[in-house]
Homo-oligomer: A and B are copies of this chain.
Amino acid sequence: MIPPRTLRIESGETTRTIYVIGTELRVQLNRCAPSQCKFFSIKCNPTVQFRVEAGASAASVAMATPAGGSFLSPQLLTKNTVVFISMKLASELVNDSKLSVRFYGNKSELLGNAVLHLTAVEISLDIDADRDGIVERNNPNKASWKWGPNGHGAILLVNCDCESTFRKELDSEDEEITRVSDLKDMSKMILRTRGPAVLPEGYKLSLHISRSHAESVRVFRTSGKPQGSTLKYLLFKLFQKDYPLVLNKEQLAGEVPYVGGDSQQELFVEGIRFPDKDFDGLITINLSLLEPSGQGFPETPIYTDKVMFRVAPWIMTPNTLKPVEVFVCSTSDNYDFLKAIKSLVQSSGYKLKICHEYMNRGDRWMQDEIEFGYIDSPHQRIPVVLDSPRDRELEDFPYDVLLGPDFGYVTRYPVNERVSSLDSFGNLEVSPPVTVNGKKYPLGRIIIGVAFPTTAHGRNMTKVIQDFLWAQKVQEPIALYSDWLVVGHVDEFMTFVPAPDRKGFRLLLASPDAGYKLFRSLQVKGHGSAKLFQGKEEEISVDELMSNEEFRAENVYVQNCIDWNRDILKKELGLDDEDIIDLPILFKVFSEEDNRAAAYYPDMVNMLVLGKNLGIPKPFGPQVRGTCALEAEMRSLLEPLGLNCTFIDDFASYHKLLGEVHCGSNVRREPFEFRWWNLE
């Protein structure tokens, strides 16, 4: 309920104002009455309604509502007599409705007459507050935002794609709308008005926004072209001037024209900033009706309507979502790898996109430069790539190749901080949907790797990226400990694969213990002389490996590091032991790398997950009766879940460079069916 607006009228004078349907005007009669006045009467058009209250000390007393719409016989005037005025229908002409108050003295002699001329208008700034893609009329919840399927509140996208493929620039950095296709990335707002052909002189409609919100949004309006041809315009016209800018960070208030009669003006709201540490994502846009206050005085806002948007978060896609495209680099030395990936991707029925050498400049770590995600709203959904501040030779790829029409781009630049290996996005993953102690995460939880918080000198993911990830809110991040690894990425010891049972997935963890267990049992079964890395210079027998006490101690340490993460993951994802599969993987600690570790043989957990088809680094484990014991163990662990294991030789081109299949690939996946605003 909008509180009544105080209006002054005056004996002997005519006052003119606009009345906005749904509000009340409040006139303190004693104020405008002549000082000797004792009684009053009120007369008005049938289009005008009023009620009179005579304030008592404790409560207000309503006087009987007059029968014919007017108070023709004189009523007693008290110190607190207040008239509340309202109207039901918009005016067709300016000042077409009237109310007059007569003031009487002691013996009912007429002392004066105050006349009020009213023009009624209907004004509503409308948005899609019920999230069905249609801008409904005057939703009662339009000024607030509530999460959940029973929630409400409109949604805004950051216009982070680029309509043009030529001379690229993020649309969000362009202060104009240069292509009609850009409108679909914006949220429509409709200004619905009803009233006379023109407003009384000096009245204006003004959109406005607070200084802090203006950093995150722009508003455009449609020029006054006839409505009937809108569609034609959208399709055919070059229309730069058809969508004038109304609000941006320099212009916090801007006039919108009043169109007479029953009118709907389209406005377009463009998000320009993702939620972040200093921005909770909520934006309020105001529309005020301004009344002239006379020569040289500022206009007074006499009615304000508000709407609220939330900027859509950037959302990551876990391995359990269906792939769309697989990205991989072509380098001078990875022909066989590429062939194997191509075969896997094509037989799985997905698209393969190869980043060629002129673009990757020898940088093969496609996982590390980018993370694919998307933004979603009831009116539009587009993929958005998060560009890592890592910025090695692949640095131009996300902007130059991926960014384009309906493909968004976002990045963050570190401030007073050095970028480390932990800023590569092999260190940024996301879990499948989970429920933890009753709390649902239907979009999963983001997983990053950092140093122990108790360490003064560890490596970390930069603050700007961490702040960005936490601020998205819908996939509350989990920080694991990955600084124990030379490269330091969480994908070196964990991944998720789909499963038909339980929670719909399994967490796969690298496990030196599982590795030792497997090799010891090979020894017991008489295969101690079987060789790992057969035919390579690294060739070594199981017995030799198992007798290395230093290596054993290193793997105990690594297992402790992974167990620490295992406990965190169980707690933060609500997992049981049965949700986790320990993969037999051994690590080596490099003293020259500050005692940090890397996979000893190809790190099988660092795999490419394409539905049920897994592209796993070929481990070159001990050959037992013509079969690699590690591959056999992997199959026995994963095939019961309906997963198909394809082992891909990445030994020379990736493993020896401290990465594997996952590090060297990236997958764009379909978005969640679950819509983020339905989170509770």
**A contacts, CB < 8 Å to B:** 3-8, 10, 28, 31-32, 34-36, 55, 57, 60, 80, 82, 206, 208, 210-212, 251-253, 277-278, 286, 288, 290, 293-301, 451-456, 458, 463, 483-484, 513-514, 517, 520-521, 524, 553, 556-557, 559-561, 563-564, 566-567, 570-571, 576-578, 582, 591, 594-595
In the complex with contacts A8-B556, A557-B293, A576-B452 CB distance below 8 A = no
Closest CB-CB distance, A243 to chain B, in whole Å?
A: 21
In the complex, which of the residues B293, B563, B578 contacts A80, with contact meaning CB atoms closer than 8 Å? B578
Let me know if B300 and A452 touch, CB within 8 A: yes
Let me know if A577 and B3 touch, CB within 8 A: no
Interchain CA distance A571-B278 in the complex, whole Å: 30
In the complex, which of the residues B60, B294, B560, B582 contacts A293, with contact meaning CB atoms closer than 8 Å? B560
- Give the 7 A-B residue pairs with the shortest CB-CB distance, closest first: A35-B521, A296-B595, A6-B563, A3-B571, A31-B513, A206-B454, A253-B454
Closest CB-CB distance, A323 to chain B, in whole Å?
A: 29
Show 19 residue pairs from A and B whose CB-CB distance is below 8 angstroms, ordered by the A residue. A3-B570, A6-B566, A8-B559, A32-B513, A35-B517, A35-B521, A36-B524, A80-B578, A208-B453, A208-B454, A253-B453, A277-B278, A293-B557, A295-B595, A296-B591, A297-B557, A298-B452, A298-B483, A301-B453
Q: Which residues of B contact A566 (CB under 8 A)?
A: 6
Interchain CA distance A208-B452 in the complex, whole Å: 10
**How many copies of this chain does one complex carry?**
2
Let me know if B520 and A35 touch, CB within 8 A: yes
Closest-by-CB residue of B relative to A28 is B577
In the complex, which of the residues B210, B253, B559, B577 contacts A82, with contact meaning CB atoms closer than 8 Å? B577
Let me know if A456 and B252 touch, CB within 8 A: yes
In the complex, which of the residues B5, B288, B520 contacts A34, with contact meaning CB atoms closer than 8 Å? B520
Let me know if B452 and A553 touch, CB within 8 A: no
Let me know if A454 and B290 touch, CB within 8 A: yes
Let me know if A577 and B55 touch, CB within 8 A: yes
Interchain CA distance A484-B594 in the complex, whole Å: 67
Let me know if A35 and B524 touch, CB within 8 A: yes
Q: Which residues of B contact A591 (CB under 8 A)?
A: 296
Q: Which residues of B contact A463 (CB under 8 A)?
A: 211-212
In the complex, which of the residues B57, B286, B295 contacts A453, with contact meaning CB atoms closer than 8 Å? B286
Closest CB-CB distance, A288 to chain B, in whole Å?
A: 5
Interchain CA distance A165-B118 in the complex, whole Å: 66
Closest CB-CB distance, A15 to chain B, in whole Å?
A: 10
Closest-by-CB residue of B relative to A296 is B595
Closest CB-CB distance, A220 to chain B, in whole Å?
A: 18
In the complex, which of the residues B4, B55, B557 contacts A578, with contact meaning CB atoms closer than 8 Å? B55
Q: Which residues of B contact A253 (CB under 8 A)?
A: 453-456
Q: Which residues of B contact A28 (CB under 8 A)?
A: 577
Q: Which residues of B contact A211 (CB under 8 A)?
A: 463
Let me know if B294 and A553 touch, CB within 8 A: yes
